Amino acid sequence: MSIILKSAKVINAESKYNGTQQDILISEGKIVKIAKSISDKNARIIDIKDLHVSNGWFDSSVSFGEPGFEERETIENGGIVASKSGFTDVVLNSNTNPVIDSQAGISFVKSKNSSCNIHPLGALTISSESKEMAELFDMKNAGAVGFYDYKKPIINSNLLKISLQYSQAFNSLIMSFPLDKSIAKNGIINEGEISVNYGIKGIPNFSEEIQINRDLHILEYTGGNLHIPTISTKKSLDLIKKAKEKGLNVTCSVAIHNLTFNEAKLKDFDTRFKVLPPLRTEKDRLALVKGVKDGVIDLVTSDHCPIDVENKKTDIDNAEYGTIGLESFFGSLLNLFTLEETIKILTRGRKLFNIENFDFKEGSEARLSLFKISKEFEFSKSHIKSKSKNSAFLGTKMKGYPLGIVNSNNIIINE
C-alpha cells in the first residue's frame, strides 16, 4: 500500500526540506518521493489541516507492565499508546514480574507484535536485587539495548565496576539509578520546605548526588559506557558536566515531569505527583531546563510508568511512585522549548543504545512522526489512551498535539 502525506510541514534541522510544506509518498515502507505536489490515485491520502512531520520520535524510558502487571499496561496496547503519542521507537524498562533478567525475558518482549519499535532493556542484576550480575551477554544477543535495574540503585560498588568492565567487550550501555538508599531511607518527597512544613519524610538532594559521585569515580577507573537516568538536582547536573569535561563517557537523562513541576505540587498530597526521583525545588527545575538547552543533559524522557488505581489513588505514604507521560510528552516539551528544540529533543538519543537512525530523504525507511500545533487546550483524561490514568499532567495547558506515526508499512493515526 502507498501513502501520501499531503502538505506536511517538515521540521528537521538537518534536512533541506526543513520548514517547507511537502507531499510525501511512502511505499513498501520507504520514502519514495518528496515534492510540492504528488498524485497517485492508488495511494491512501492523509490530508490533515496543519499537518507537521519529523523524523520518528524516540523515548529512552518507558514502562508497560507485561509480563506480570498486565492490569497496568500490556505490550500491545502500550505500543499503540506510544504510536498515537508520536513515538516510532521506545526503550522498554525491565520492571515487570518476573523482572526481565534473562535471554528468555528479552525474547518474550521481542516476540510481541507492536505498532512501534520496542527496544527492551535487560535488568543489570538478577531480579534487580543488586546482588549478582544478570546474563548480560546473552541478553545483548537476544536484543537488549542496555542494562538497568529500573529505579533501583546498584548498592554494590564492585558490581558496578565489574559490569562496566565486562560490558566493554560487547559495547553495551550500563545504567545506574542515582540514589543512595541508606540516606534516602523511607523518604517520600523532596527534603525541603514542603516536607518539613507538612511532616512528610524527605529525600535529600545529596542522596542522589553522592551516588552519582561514586559512579563517576568508578567510571573513571573502569572506562565503559555509563548512563545516569532521570537526574533531578542542580548539583547532579554540575557533577556530570565536570565529568564530561574530563572526557568521561557518561550520559544522563531527565524526566519531563521534573522539568515541568516542582515540589509545590505536593502541598495537597496529590499522589499523581509522587515520583522518583521526587519533584525538587524551582531552582533545581530551572537548572535542569538550562541543562537540556546547553546539551549537558543528553535525553529527556517521559519516564512513562503506569500504576493501577489501587496502588496510586491512596494516601501519600502508600502510593507507588510514577506517572504516565507518553500522551502528554510532546505538549509538555512545547511549553518549555521552541518547536525546533522540541523536535531535536524527541529525535535524539538512539545512538546511545546502538539503535539505527534514518534520514529524512528519498530512499530512506519511513520512520516518521505526525503532529500539529493546535489552539491551547487542557490535557484531560480524554487524551489518555493508556490503561492506567495516573497522569501528573491532567489539567496542564498545551498547544502541541501528536497525531501518530508512519513506521515502515504501519500508519497509526490518533483519532
Strand order of the β-sheet with 57-62 is 57-62, 87-92, 117-120
Alpha helices in 66-176 (DSSP H): 75-84, 103-111, 136-142, 157-167
For the chain, helix (H) and strand (E) counts, in that order, are 13, 17
DSSP 8-state assignment for residue 124: S
Q: Could you list the active site residues?
A: 303
3-state DSSP of 204-272: CCHHHHHHHHHHHHHHHHHCCEEEECCCCCHHHHHHHHHHHHCCCCEEEEEEHHHHHCCHHHHHHCCHH
Q: What is the per-residue burial (b if ≥16 Cβ within 10 Å, else e) of 52-63?
A: bbbbbbbbbbbb
Cell of 315: 494516601
Q: How far apart are CA 51 and CA 402, in angstroms?
A: 10
**SS3 category, 323:** strand
Cell of 161: 565496576
Q: Which amino acid is at 381?
A: K
Cell of 340: 525546533
The sign one gets for the Cα dihedral 82, 87, 90, 93 is negative
Q: How far apart are CA 116 and CA 359, in angstroms?
A: 18
Q: How far apart are CA 240 and CA 243, in angstroms?
A: 5
Q: Which residue has the cell 524510558?
A: 61
Q: Which residue has the cell 502508600?
A: 318
Strand intervals (E) in 270-339: 299-301
Q: Is the CB of residue 122 less than 8 Å from the CB of residue 110?
A: no
**SS3 category, 403:** strand
